[in-house]
Every structure is written in C-alpha cells, then in structure tokens.
Copies of this chain bind each other. A is one copy, B any other.
Amino acid sequence: MIAEVITIGSELLHGLVRNTNLDMIAGMLGEIGLEPAFHSTVGDDAEHMGEAFRTAAHRSEIVISTGGLGPTPDDITRKVIATVFRRRLILDQAVLEAIRTRFRARGIEMPPINETQALIPRGSTVIQNRRGIAPGLHFSHLRTEIFALPGVPSEAEQMLRDYVLPRLRSLNPGLQSALRVVRTIGISESALSERLQGFAMEEPELSLGYIASTTGVDLHLAGSSRDPRLLAERLDRAERKLLERAGAHAYARGHRTLSEVVGEALLERGLTIATAESFTGGALGAAVIATPGSSRYYRGGVVAYSNDAKAALLGVSEAVLRVKGAVSAEAARAMARGARERLRASCAVSTTGIAGPEGGSEEKPVGLVYIGYSGADSETSERFLFGGSRAEIVARGCSCALDLLRRSIGAPPP
C-alpha cells in the first residue's frame, strides 16, 4: 500500500520551523509495517494545497495530512478538502458543542472564530481531539483513505494512536517491515562501527543505520519480510549481536530514554536522587522529570550558577573553589555530595563546566565538563571535553550525567 504524508504550513517551506510531524508519523506507520512513499509539504495556499491533495489522492492509497485545521483565516485545509473532493461543508452541531465544552472546561467562552472548526466536509468521520480543539477528519475518495489531522504534534499523535493506526492495521495484512533500535552512549560512531565490522556481511537481509545525537549513537536495524515469524527471529538474532558488541555502552532498546531507564532502576532499587547543576542550569533536572512518575524518586535539585550559590546552597568549600576552581573534579563531587545531603536523597549527580561561547581559557576551554556522583558508599567524577554549540554542550552534559547515574546505581543491561 502506498502511503503519503502531506505537511501543511507556509512556515515549513520557509525553512524556519522544524518539520517534526513527518518523523513522528513515519515512526508510527513503521509500527504497523508501513512506510510513506511520498512526503509533500505545501504552504497555506488554496491552489497549491488543492494540487497536493489531488496528486496524493491520485497516486497513494493512504494520505495523512497535518496542519491547517486551526480557527484562523490561514487555516484552510477544511475548505480545500471540500473543494477538491466536492464535499459540501456542514456545520456539525455535536462537534460545535464539543468545542464549546472544551473552552468552558478552561473557564473561557468559545471565541466566535472557533465555530469554523465545526465545519465538516459531508460524509467524513470526525476524529476526536483529546488534547486540543481542532477535530480531525477521515473520509474515503475512490480507493484512497484520507486522514486530515491538526498540525500540533501531540494532537496529531493522539489521533494516529487512537484512530488512524487501528484503521490502517485492518487494511494492511501483507508485507511486514520492522525496525529495532539499540541506543548507546559514551562511544563514538566510528568506534561503534569498528566494533560492528562484518555485521553487514553476517546479516545481509537487514540494514543498519547510525544516528548520532547529543544522547549518544542510536543503531537502527530495519528489515522486511512476508513472514513475520522469520523477520522477528532475524531481528532478534541481529539485535542480540548489536547489544553484545556495544557492551555496557548500550543503555536501551526501542525508544526508551536514558531518563526512563534510570528512573526505572531507581524505583526498582527504592532509591531517591537529587541534582546539583552549574552550566546545565536546570536542564539535567528537566531531563529527569521528563519521565512521568519521576516525583516518586526525584527529590529536587539546586542550580548553583554562581560561585557563592555553590558555597551557600551546596556547601562547596571556599578552598575547593579557590584552589581547584568551580570547574573541577573536586567541585563536581562536592556539589553532588551537597545536593545528596541537603535534599536527603540516596544519591546525587552534578554538572559543572564551560558551555561557551565565552568564558573559556587555555587551561579550561569551552566544552570542558566535569560530572560528579555521590552515593552512600562511593563518590566519583568524570571529565569530558565536548565540541559543538552551547546548547549541544548542555545537552551532552545532561546525557553524560544520567549515564554516570545509570552505571553508578547498576541499572540492568537492556
């Protein structure tokens, strides 16, 4: 089955806004063995959008669009669909009432402009939006199924999960394709590829990709077959190889994050944590709480951006700050110790470093980072020298801190 994604929005063509919906939709379609053959992007222009829908309906059997369902005059997806597929727009009273209720729940009267969102092309099914206002639309045109979803990623994702995927699963019984992901940290793409030499020859039916980011290097293993059992066996075997060769650098399978892996291990062990941050400014705590339920193990943290905050709020000694400096292994350990004690946690991690672009010196250049760990029985610190932008140095620092925590508390291998 040929699937096509249309992402709508002039800002996507200007190159100003990152188009994340394709990634999300491609990932979700992958779960049911589909991958888009075409991806089109058009601006908020009726003629161009009409042309994109016409082309897609002609060449593809599944069309998923995102965007243009909002209440403002540049949101014209409903109108374009009505024109291209010759379906009159009808004010759907039930949808209108649902929108009014949504606004009331937030303590606001529905602005009149939002009434347009209850205009539904005749014969289409309304897809409920549990996270926002704009309803989605589904209808068939000849042999093509068309799903129009809102542009807000979380809303589109919920509709895909609740409505679109179940529909498509029932339509696509044939070729299965699957993707496995092994996530690693603390090893470079080239070092990893040396460990994996010969893998492509051993597993010629599968394809292996390396995706490097601030959270480490992910290995993407893809394959397809008409025999789902064979495919699963093949992927299982290859995945085991990847995990073996990546060793302790492998921290997760699938899309689980370091924060989730660490959170689960903390819960299992009945441990609590605290954070002490300097150059990451709170981003480490934010990474910890990105995992739902983190309040069960995260006690909190201190962002000691200034030197006297390190002394006052974390009890780092003036001597350490004066002799070794705030960016040092000693300061990192003292910060972690201070956070653990003051927040009465089982253990703590800390970050101190120079994120740049200014503030570096020959001795302590931009990108120099120390991560500290303090537990009941042990204390350690690790030194890193990162490249990249300020934001990348902050993100890498957080990943390395979570990784030190993972290894220190002995999280189980994935």
Contact = CB atoms under 8 A, between A and B. Distances in A.
A270 interface: no
A292 B387 contact: no
A323 interface: no
Contacts of A9: 209, 211
Interface residues of A, number: 114
A344 B312 CA distance: 10
A22 interface: yes
Contacts of A181: 16
Contact of A295 (B10, B39, B359): B359
A313 B343 contact: yes
A358 B273 CA distance: 20
Interface string A197-216: 00010000001111110000
Given A38-B52, A284-B282, A111 B301 contact: no
Contact of A113 (B72, B154, B190, B344): B190
Given A113-B194, A281-B288, A289-B281, A14 B300 contact: no
Interface of A: 2, 9-19, 22-27, 30, 35-45, 48, 51-52, 55, 59, 70-74, 106-107, 111, 113-114, 131-132, 152, 154, 179, 181, 188-194, 200, 207-212, 220, 222, 255, 275, 277, 279-286, 288-290, 292-295, 298-306, 308-309, 312-313, 342-344, 355-359, 385, 387-392, 394
B74 A154 contact: no
A302 B313 contact: yes
Contacts of A16: 23, 179, 181, 209, 211, 220, 255
Contacts of A44: 207, 209
B193 A72 contact: yes
A391 B154 CA distance: 10
Copies of this chain per assembly: 2
Contacts of A356: 292
Contacts of A45: 37
Nearest to A208: B74
A12 B26 CA distance: 10
B154 A392 contact: yes
B38 A14 contact: no
A281 B293 CA distance: 12
A246 B390 CA distance: 32
A45 to B, nearest CB: 7
Sorted nearest first, the 5 A-B pairs with minimum C-beta distance are: A282-B285, A282-B282, A281-B289, A15-B23, A15-B26
Contacts of A294: 281, 305
B39 A358 contact: no
B13 A35 contact: yes
A72 to B, nearest CB: 4
A394 to B, nearest CB: 7
B300 A303 contact: yes
Given A13-B35, A154-B392, 11 more contacts: A9-B209, A10-B207, A11-B209, A16-B255, A70-B189, A73-B200, A74-B207, A295-B359, A300-B303, A301-B305, A313-B343
